[in-house]
Structure 1
């Protein structure tokens, strides 16, 4: 608490003043949190004063930064008064805090902080990505650096250690950062680095789900969904406790960040969030049994992988028994490394399997996927595919059913074909003794 107050005072976050007539001060409170490492050990204790208001293929360096008191660096343009913090009140009892900088809890705090960070990075020569505003890149002669921001956590990677060191020094001068060294644990993702490969997993997060759901001692399952299973909304009794179901599915959705093997079944379960039935809960419990068998599975990126781009696209025509909409899916590889995948039920009905295939392929290669997901005209999808093929950007290759990796994202499979496809996705359990 004392360190937090010292940081606020050093940053000139407020000045003590008498409350002007007609103004009403907002309250504040202390929020305490314990931050853990991936292995469950305590990294540090955190205290926050809160205002009460509404890279493997190129063998690059991969580092992580944490900005100290990030929201406090944002400039505040509004006139805001706050009651003194509990335990650190001024000597004069009739005084309040007039905020000069942003503070945790203010609705504009995150926006002001990100705006200031963006300005600093642009000054340093970085370019903000138009596809993802939290991504910044800098290319200079033979050096290439990438910076990814999530609130006050930053991932920094590139092929030049001197440039990375320079960026760290600049950010520390501007905002005071904590250099966490090589990337190890980020937003629930566990990162294992060597000079030859990178492994991403959510082992700790998966085990927490099993622990909270009381499934640590369950019987493991070989697949996350029984073969040829079809979930509907009218084949069981409504759940009395829908909140626990929604919470579980929500956590499973986040688990798919590094678990493509769960994408299809989680997509299926998320369609019944409004009125789940006991059949859906049983399917969610089977996912937990599958997690028990392989909580450490994750994505594996090798430095020896080539840099060619390959994509698998497929559709399950009229796959939804209730709406007869089709399910489109794709998975994209950079060399042997899986970098993107998707499984989604489309909002419109296709009149033929060919139409469904064209739309699935268009959603894989389209420059503006949001627009093409909404279109109802197959002619546009056909035009996109043909245009890319004609110009040589895309080469369509025949694919046997046994080699169609996108099948994992369209239907429930038997144990053997499921395991075969998962192994081809370059997923790996680094905690396995084999």
Structure 2
């Protein structure tokens, strides 16, 4: 969808991303996320959102799918505790893509004490199957930061992966199999708090 349609409607492009637009209607704000022909709209007031959608219908044909359920591989579930985001189906598709549907679950994303290096293992593997799997793992860390570190390690080895590096990727997939039920819970703003942990020397 062309950007000018939103800009001409009074929306402004966000500085944090070319696919994000902001619109202010009175005291209320609306946020619009666009990817090709998929649009995600949210804001501070449901009535204002409906008003905005009605304005958009005057400009072009759109189909309102209601509350968010699935967007770009991310599943959204509204619960009494808040908004639960997960990529369960996306990760199951990843098992199909990597022909590892029947993998056994493991309790950690990386073997204890493992320090991956570009010099580990010889000879280099064909990187063609390695790269899309690792790229997909990167995307899953949107809702799964628990294996972001392990994914970053295997991402650094895309240029010339070896059988040792592929084993590390498979280890992450084994861990995902063990934790498919885990997702990212966003609490209502009144209960929002951020806690971080660090184990550094």
Same fold, TM-score > 0.5, yes or no: yes
- Pick aligned residue for 1:131 from 16, 19, 25: 16
Greater relative contact order (CA < 8 Å, ≥ 6 in sequence): 2
Alpha-carbon separation, structure 2, partners of 1:270 and 1:156: 32
Matches within 5 A, 1:389-400: none
Q: 1:260 aligns with which of 129, 133, 145?
A: 145
Q: 1:261 to 1:212 in 2, by over 3 A?
A: same
Q: Does 1:237 align with 2:119?
A: no
Partner of 1:373: none
- Go from structure 1 to structure 2 and tell me whether the alpha carbon gap of 1:129 and 1:205 turns closer, same or farther (over 3 Å shift): same
1:267-318 deviation per Cα after TM superposition (whole angstroms, max 9, x unaligned) = 11111111111110110010111011012321101116446xxxxxxxxxxx
Give distance in 2, aligned partners of 1:404 and 1:186.
28
Distance 1:166-1:141 versus aligned 2 partners, 3 A rule:
closer
Distance 1:254 1:192, change over 3 A: same
Alignment counterpart, residue 197 of structure 2, candidates 402, 405, 409: 405
Residue 241 and residue 122 in structure 1: after superposition, are their counterparts in 2 closer, same or farther (change >3 A)? closer
Matched, 1:283 2:75: no
Displacement after TM superposition at 1:196 (Å): 4.4
> Aligned partners of 2:46, 2:53: CA distance in 1, in Å?
11
What SS does the aligned partner of 1:284 have? helix
Rounded Cα–Cα distance in structure 2 between residues aligned with 1:266 and 1:251: 10
- Cα deviation for residue 207 of structure 1 reads 0.9
Alignment of 1:14-413 (within 5 A): 113-114=1-2, 118-194=3-79, 196-303=81-188, 305-306=190-191, 335-336=193-194, 405-407=197-199
Matches within 5 A, 1:2-21: none
The answer as to whether partners of 1:220 and 1:293 remain within 8 angstroms in 2 is yes
Q: Structure 1: which 5+ residue stretches go unaligned?
A: 1-112, 308-334, 337-402, 411-434
Shift in CA distance, 244/176, structure 1 to aligned 2, threshold 3 Å: same
Matched-pair contact (CA < 8 Å) for 1:144–1:158 = yes
- Note the aligned Cα RMSD (angstroms): 2.0
Distance in structure 2 (CA, Å) of the matches to 1:404 and 1:199 = 20
8 Å contact kept, 2:107–2:178:
yes
Distance of aligned partners of 1:217 and 1:169 in 2 relative to their CA distance in 1, 3 Å threshold: same
Cα contact 2:25–2:48 (8 A) shared by 1: no
Check 1:129–1:240 CA distance in 2 against 1; reply closer, same or farther (3 A cut).
Answer: closer
Q: TM-score, normalised by structure 1?
A: 0.43
> Could you list the per-position Cα deviations for residues 10-61 of structure 1 after superposition, in whole angstroms to 9, with x for gaps in the alignment?
xxxxxxxxxxxxxxxxxxxxxxxxxxxxxxxxxxxxxxxxxxxxxxxxxxxx
CA 1:282–1:127 in 2, change beyond 3 Å: closer, same or farther?
A: same
Residue by residue, what CA displacement relative to the aligned partner does 1:344-389 show, whole Å, maximum 9, x if unpaired? Answer: xxxxxxxxxxxxxxxxxxxxxxxxxxxxxxxxxxxxxxxxxxxxxx
Q: Which has the higher strand share?
A: 1
TM-score (ref. length: structure 2)? 0.90
* Separation in structure 1 between the aligned mates of residue 108 and residue 134 of structure 2, nearest angstrom: 17
Where has structure 1 moved over 3 Å in runs of 4 or more?
A: 304-307
